[in-house]
């Protein structure tokens, strides 16, 4: 492929592919062809496509752009075909417009046009970020570690901005701990409560120590780790039988000050003396990139140069593949367009934001020293 596209045309091409997780809809081949001067490394596993493109310009730093080509299902309520991009009032409508093919397009465009860089540039893409991510970015990072190609710095082009393009960079993410707590009692007739052990009555006076409790006080980078109850159920949906057990499900979006063991200790203390069991699973771990890291200062300067806005540093939101970078010691930040329509019907992105993101990434490469 010899002809270059402008970043909006490139985004339209990406959005036209129905790449619902974990299907890449041929995009990995397209990206490889679009960046012919970059060496391609593929690690496909478990039905997931993973691509790493890299080009060494000189000795020096290794800067990686990363993202995903997969999108969530379109769902209902669209005013037009979600995989036939349409432009209206300065916005581009399609599934994945914000999350996150706009970021992928901006990275691809600047990498193709890069002529000089004091080191190595690369692009890491997966087709399984919106799913379990079991065979996605972390598989590629493990391979890159084996072949000594892990980057020192990385920009994950997820949509990060809140109200205005340029207003936020993510320096980290909270982890996610899921809990299943079962309080066991003894079923009985509601008319004879003394002959039963009602787990609802047992936990009721202690519930305030679980529901919405802060497990730490937070810090400069993170809000407190809060225990959020997501489901409570027990009984047979009748009025005259007490339940034999009560099941409580909860989630903790934990910061770097609270671990799964801390959560376990707290719940076990609250439930002391009860007949209970507790299962905890951690789907992701918290991380934060030091504010003094080079990538933080450099992308902050590029955002301010392009937008005139000094971005805030944030760790809010759910999870992203940046968490895997953090586990490998890579200095990683996230920056992209606004995120006000992600995963929604009629997802859209402002065209001027796509062009602005392309300029920010371009400035980052040009000004890198």
- Rounded to whole angstroms, the Cα distance separating 354 from 365 reads 17
| Angle in degrees, CA 337, 342, 320, rounded to 5 | 75
In this prediction, residue 3 carries a pLDDT of 54
Name the one residue in this structure whose structure tokens are 């301010």: 304
In this prediction, residue 238 carries a pLDDT of 96
- Rounded to whole angstroms, the Cα distance separating 94 from 20 reads 13
- Rounded to whole angstroms, the Cα distance separating 255 from 219 reads 9
- Rounded to whole angstroms, the Cα distance separating 23 from 26 reads 8
Name the one residue in this structure whose structure tokens are 């010899």: 2
Residues labelled as active-site residues:
70, 129
Q: Identify any residues that bridge with 176 across adjacent strands, giving them in sequence order.
A: 284
Q: How far is Cα of residue 181 from the mean position of the Cα atoms in its chain?
A: 27
| 222 φ, ψ (degrees, to nearest 5) | -130, 150
In this prediction, residue 317 carries a pLDDT of 83
The total number of residues shown for the chain amounts to 369
Cβ contact 255:276 at 8 Å: no
In this prediction, residue 4 carries a pLDDT of 62
- Rounded to whole angstroms, the Cα distance separating 103 from 86 reads 18
Pick from 85, 71, 122, 110: which is nearest to 11 by CA? Answer: 85
The residues of the chain scoring below 70 in pLDDT are 1-4
In this prediction, residue 44 carries a pLDDT of 97
Which tokens sit at 120? Answer: 């190595």
Q: Identify any residues that bridge with 207 across adjacent strands, giving them in sequence order.
A: none
| 3-state SS assignment for residue 217 | coil
**pLDDT tens-place string over residues 240-278:** 999 999 999 999 999 999 999 999 999 999 999 999 999
| 3-state SS assignment for residue 239 | coil
Q: How far is Cα of residue 360 from the mean position of the Cα atoms in its chain?
A: 21
């Amino acid at each position: 492929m010899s002809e270059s596209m402008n970043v909006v045309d490139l985004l339209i091409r990406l959005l036209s592919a129905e790449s619902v997780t974990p299907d890449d809809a041929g995009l990995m081949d397209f990206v490889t062809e679009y960046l012919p001067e970059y060496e391609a490394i593929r690690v496909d596993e478990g039905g997931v496509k993973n691509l790493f493109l890299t080009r060494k310009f000189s000795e020096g730093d290794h800067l990686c752009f990363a993202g995903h080509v997969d999108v969530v299902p379109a769902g209902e309520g669209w005013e037009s075909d979600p995989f036939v991009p349409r432009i209206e009032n300065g916005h581009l409508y399609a599934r994945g417009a914000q999350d996150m093919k706009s970021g992928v397009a901006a990275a691809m465009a600047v990498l193709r046009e890069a002529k000089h860089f004091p080191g190595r540039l690369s692009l890491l893409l997966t087709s399984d970020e919106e799913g379990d991510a079991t065979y996605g970015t972390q598989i590629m990072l493990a391979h890159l570690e084996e072949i000594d190609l892990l980057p020192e710095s990385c920009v994950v082009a997820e949509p990060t901005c809140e109200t205005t393009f340029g207003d936020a960079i993510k320096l980290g993410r909270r982890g996610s701990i899921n809990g299943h707590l079962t309080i066991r009692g003894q079923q009985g007739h509601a008319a004879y409560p003394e002959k039963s052990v009602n787990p609802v009555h047992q936990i009721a006076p202690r519930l305030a120590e679980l529901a919405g409790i802060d497990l730490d006080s937070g810090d400069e980078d993170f809000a407190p780790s809060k225990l959020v109850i997501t489901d409570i159920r027990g009984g047979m949906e009748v009025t005259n039988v007490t339940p034999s057990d009560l099941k409580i499900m909860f989630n903790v979006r934990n910061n770097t000050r609270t671990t799964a063991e801390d959560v376990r200790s707290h719940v076990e203390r609250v439930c002391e003396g009860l007949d209970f069991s507790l299962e905890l699973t951690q789907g992701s771990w918290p991380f934060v990139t030091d504010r003094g890291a080079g990538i933080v200062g450099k992308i902050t300067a590029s955002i301010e140069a392009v937008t005139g806005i000094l971005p805030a540093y944030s760790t809010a939101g759910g999870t992203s593949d940046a968490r895997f970078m953090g586990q490998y010691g890579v200095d990683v930040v996230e920056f992209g367009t606004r995120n006000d329509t992600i995963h929604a019907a009629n997802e859209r992105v402002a065209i001027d934001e796509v062009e602005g993101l392309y300029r920010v990434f371009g400035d980052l490469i040009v000004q890198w020293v």
